[in-house]
Chains A and B, each alone.
Chain A
Amino acid sequence: MIFPFDSLSAHHREFGLIVAVIIGFAFGFVLERAGFGRSPKLAAQFYLYDMTVFKVMFGAIVTACLGIVVFSQLGLVELRTLSNWATSETFLWPMIVGGFLLGIGFIIAGYCPGTSAVAAASGNLDGLFTFIGVIIGSFIYSEAFPLFSRFHEASNLGHVYLYDLLHLPAPAVAAAVALMAILCFLGAEKVEQYFSEKLKRSGNTEFENNILPERHSRLARQSTFATFGALALIACFTLFLTIRNGSSRSSALPLSQADLGERVLKEPWRLRIIDLREREACLETRVPGSECVPLAELTTLALSEDTSGRDLILVGGIDLNEVPAAAATYPGRVFILEKGFEGWKSFALTAPNHPGPSASPDEVGSYRIRAALYSSLTGAKQAPPPPPPAATGGTTKKKGGGCSG
Chain B
Amino acid sequence: MNSPIWNWEIAVYLFLGGMSAGLMILSCIRSGHSSPERLLPFLSVLILSVGMAALFMDLAFKTHVYRFYLAFQWKSPMSWGSWILLGIYPAALLFGLTRVEEAEIARLTPAPLLGTIHSARRWAISQERVLKQTNLFLGIALGVYTGILLSSLGRPAWNSAVLGPLFLVSGFSAGAAILTLFTEENNLHRWEMHAISAEFALILLYIFGLTRIGNPDGSTPADLFLGGRFTAIFWVFTVMIGLCLPFVLGRILRPPVGNYRFLGASFVLIGSFSLRWIIVTAGQS
Q: Which residues of A contact B (CB under 8 A)?
A: 12, 14-15, 17-18, 21, 123
Contacts and interface: CB of A to CB of B under 8 A. Distances in A.
Contacts of A15: 227, 231-232
10 contacts: A14-B231, A14-B232, A15-B232, A17-B236, A18-B232, A18-B235, A18-B236, A18-B240, A21-B236, A21-B240
Nearest to A12: B227
Interface in B221-252: 227-229, 231-232, 235-236, 240
Contacts of B235: 18
Given A15-B227, A15-B232, A17-B236, 4 more contacts: A14-B227, A17-B231, A18-B232, A123-B259
Contacts of A21: 232, 236, 240
- The 3 A-B residue pairs with the shortest CB-CB distance, nearest first, are A17-B232, A14-B231, A14-B232
B83 to A, nearest CB: 41
Nearest to A123: B259
Interface of B: 227-229, 231-232, 235-236, 240, 259
B260 to A, nearest CB: 13
Nearest to B241: A21
Contacts, number: 21
Contacts of B227: 12, 14-15
Nearest to B235: A18
Nearest to A16: B232
Contacts of B236: 17-18, 21
Contacts of A17: 231-232, 236
Tell me the interface secondary structure of chain A in the complex. Answer: helix
B143 to A, nearest CB: 29
- Which of A14, A17, A18 lies at the interface centre, i.e. has the most chain B CB atoms within 10 A of its CB? A14
B244 to A, nearest CB: 11
A10 to B, nearest CB: 12
Query: Which residue, of B227, B232, B259, has the highest number of chain A Cβ atoms within 10 A?
Result: B232
A179 to B, nearest CB: 40
Nearest to A121: B263
B229 A14 contact: yes
Contact of A18 (B228, B231, B259): B231
A15 B229 CA distance: 10
B240 A14 contact: no
Contacts of B259: 123
A217 to B, nearest CB: 26
Contacts of A123: 259
A21 B229 CA distance: 16
A36 to B, nearest CB: 19
A21 B239 CA distance: 12
A257 B206 CA distance: 48
Nearest to A14: B231
A21 B238 CA distance: 13
A23 to B, nearest CB: 12
A280 B235 CA distance: 62
B274 to A, nearest CB: 13
A249 B76 CA distance: 68
A18 B225 CA distance: 12
Contacts of B231: 14-15, 17-18
Contacts of B240: 18, 21
A12 B259 CA distance: 37
Nearest to A13: B232
A6 to B, nearest CB: 16
Contacts of B229: 14
B141 to A, nearest CB: 36
A29 to B, nearest CB: 12
Contacts of A12: 227
A356 to B, nearest CB: 25
A123 B266 CA distance: 14
A15 B235 CA distance: 9
A21 B231 CA distance: 13
A18 B240 CA distance: 9
B230 to A, nearest CB: 8
A372 B236 CA distance: 45
Which of A15, A17, A18 has the largest number of chain B CB atoms within 10 A?
A: A18
A210 B92 CA distance: 53
Contacts of B228: 14
A199 B259 CA distance: 35
B220 to A, nearest CB: 16
A14 B231 CA distance: 6
A17 B234 CA distance: 11
Nearest to A22: B240
B247 to A, nearest CB: 15
Nearest to B228: A14
A14 B278 CA distance: 15
A190 B240 CA distance: 44
A285 B135 CA distance: 87
A53 B240 CA distance: 30
Nearest to A122: B259
Nearest to A21: B236
